Structure 1
């Protein structure tokens, strides 16, 4: 039969000391912080990727619109239209144009355009096709149009001369909040070079 002294010694060997408990709690806390940091970094990367994809899509959409616009030529005497995007008649009209939230050519915010059948009967947009307006309101789409020419030593350079090339840059920015004056950061920027190709006789 074990005496009281032997029982106490056995119990002391089987238990945890205060130091051991503190060490185990510290290790657990460090592992938890590392885990939450990894989760936070993963969520941040996913959010950045999503924003970049949305921004690139908006930039590509604008470039597709610009690809269908007439190239400005020196023989064209029509004045530049800067009042309304639906009245723009050549690429130079888009220089320094911007909109927030992004709109279509007729001025409707994206995702809020009227949906019609045969352009006559207005129908309600399905809820699955209604965008998150609180997110779109924070987006700004900007267009820059530069006259450029090819330089044999440094590639494409900007010029004030009349030229048959334009470099168009579409920049998408995302504001932190919808408040006026809120800081914004660029989430996507896409550039494309357009050239004038005369019609064959």
Structure 2
């Protein structure tokens, strides 16, 4: 079995046409023999954090979009942030990037991040990407995904629409065999 470390990025290959993962970048949160879990980090939704949390946190004013973390359990909310001083029990996914580990931590990070002088840059996700045991390994063997080390600033990139292209350029520089930003392989 391939071994992943927490914090690696899966970069969707250009031929992967599944609408849930087309041109996606997935931050891997967990990978065991039973399966794998990650968050798509470059797919903002049309819903703001303020709208999504209006019943639970009525005082939060935030026009930042909620991101579509993946097609599994779309009602589940997750928050990634970059503050080592918030959420003391939060899991460090990679240097400078944490996953809120409790409801209290989730609220603490969102409240701190929505203040103008807040100490946290954060991103809220609904749903996650999940794979059964051996499923992701099969997709990797087929060439549906490329692997890349995680990068906290890239995960929290202000303009998420360019994240996939940035990752592909990095892979291209590293491998010198991948086409750069080509939508149709016949154009090579």
Q: Which TM-score band applies after superposition, normalised by the shorter structure?
A: under 0.3
TM-score for the superposition, normalised by structure 2: 0.24
TM-score for the superposition, normalised by structure 1: 0.23
Structure of greater relative contact order (alpha carbons < 8 Å, 6+ residues apart): 2
- Select the structure that is richer in helix: 1
- Select the structure that is richer in strand: 2
